[in-house]
Amino acid sequence: MGRAPCCDKDGVRKGAWTPEEDQVLAEYIKKHGHGSWRTLPKQAGLLRCGKSCRLRWINYLRPDIKRGPFTAEEEGTIIQLHGMLGNRWAAIASQLPGRTDNEIKNFWNTHLKKRLLRSGNSLGAQELSFSPDQSDVKSESPSLRHMAQWEKARVEAETRLSMELESSLLNSCSTTNSLPDHFLQLWHSDVGQSFRDITKKEPVSQSPTSQASSAFANMTQEQASICQPKLDDGTAGSESDSYKFLDTSDSALKLLLDMPDGNIGFLEGLGQTESFLCPLNGRCD
DNA sequence: AATGCGGCCAACCGCTGCCAT
DNA sequence: TATGGCAGCGGTTGGCCGCAT
């Protein structure tokens, strides 16, 4: 049985919100929180459906909404994340504080997509269609393409992490603390979680430990606790899913470092363009 | 000044996944 | 385990606005 529609009842207003409605909704939520969206309109005295109220609050009335044009940095982040995640606007929005999925979706559709198409730059080309020599990947579903991209980025990040760890071990852990890896932040954020959720559904053979995990394996617990990189820029994913390297246990390290080697082979066919994460990790030199 | 056109964006629609029962 | 209700998500639409003619 289908669900009863929530927005086609008589007496339910549609269309643009009036300032009065905005005020009623905002004040109600400030006082009581949104609670159940379904019952909110009645309790707040609004002739709107719950969905409409939710959307209005999330996209317009929320106090932490960031207004104004997207910065170049935000643009770069959107492009990179879209390359990895596709049209998963909510996941992308979770990495851009103050921006809503709707806003990002509109911005992508009206600005970035066109710009990438026009410029035909490498990222745009990568995003909009894989190069001909990647036909195997191209023929796969978008989610597989994005998985491949995620995996590639992760392998690169692990390589970096491995090098950093080894050098940090040699240097008494003096450098690692100041080198948060943005990809790994992402990996441990909501976005990374959503990707891991996808890969969980795939039959993945347990991999041998990577170089990086070997580095950890050779550390004593004390060393590990001292050398855990710190996240101090506060930009990682929000709430509970954010980057928690400081709390890593052995199992968490395994989660981070074990890679499904059965899935790596296909990555070699991707063609090694310059790391598409450059704008994120800031190390393109 | 009037009209047409295209871009932008807020809001709606319908599907999906999660959770409670 | 199956079912139904809900919130959340992504795609789409429609109206407004600015610009060109």
Cβ A146 to strand C below 7 Å: no
Mean pLDDT, residues A110-125? 65
- Return the pLDDT at A192: 62
Split at pLDDT 50, 70, 90, the class of A150 is low
Look-up: residue for tokens 């978008």? A142
Does the structural domain A19-61 have CATH classification 1.10.10?
yes
A226/A232 Cα distance (integer angstroms): 15
Q: Does residue A2 approach strand C to less than 7 Å at its CB?
A: no
DSSP string, A64-121: TPPPSPPPHHHHHHHHHHHHHHSS-HHHHHTTSTT--HHHHHHHIIIIIHHHHHHH--
pLDDT digits (tens, 9 = 90+) for A222-252: 333 333 333 333 333 333 333 333 233 333 3
* Residue A31 confidence class, pLDDT cut points 50, 70, 90: confident
User: What's the average model confidence in pLDDT over A151-171?
Assistant: 46
Domain extents for chain A?
Answer: 19-61, 68-119+143-167
- Nucleotide with minimal C1' distance from the CA of A85 is C10
Which residues, in sequence order, are CB contacts of A230 under 8 Å at separation 6+?
A177, A178, A180, A245, A246
Question: Which bases on strand B have an atom closer than 7 Å to a protein beta carbon?
Answer: 7-14, 16, 18
φ, ψ of residue A190 in degrees (nearest 5): -55, -35
Q: Determine if strand B comes within 7 Å of the CB of A34.
A: no
To the nearest whole number, what is the mean pLDDT of chain A?
A: 57
Contact yes or no for A124/A112 (Cβ under 8 A): no
Is the CB of A56 within 7 Å of strand B? yes
Q: Check residues A91 and A205 and name the one with the higher pLDDT.
A: A91
Contact call for residues A245 and A228 (beta carbons, < 8 A) = yes
Spell out which residues of A between 206 and 245 contact strand C, using CB within 7 Å. none
Residue type, A117: L
Residue A89, CB, strand C, below 7 Å = yes
By C1' distance from the Cα of A56, the closest nucleotide is B11
* Percent of chain A clearing pLDDT 90 (strictly above): 0
For residue A121, count other CB atoms closer than 10 A to its CB.
12
A19-61 and A68-119+143-167, same CATH topology: yes
| Protein CB footprint (7 Å) on chain C nucleotides | 3-12, 15
Phi and psi torsions of A234, nearest 5°: 65, 15
CATH fold, domain A68-119+143-167, is Arc Repressor Mutant, subunit A (1.10.10)
- Contact present, A236 and A164 (Cβ < 8 Å): no
Assess whether pLDDT exceeds 70 at residue A137.
Answer: no
For the question of whether the overall pTM of this predicted structure is more than 0.85, the answer is no
What confidence tier does A215 reach under pLDDT thresholds 50, 70, 90?
A: very low
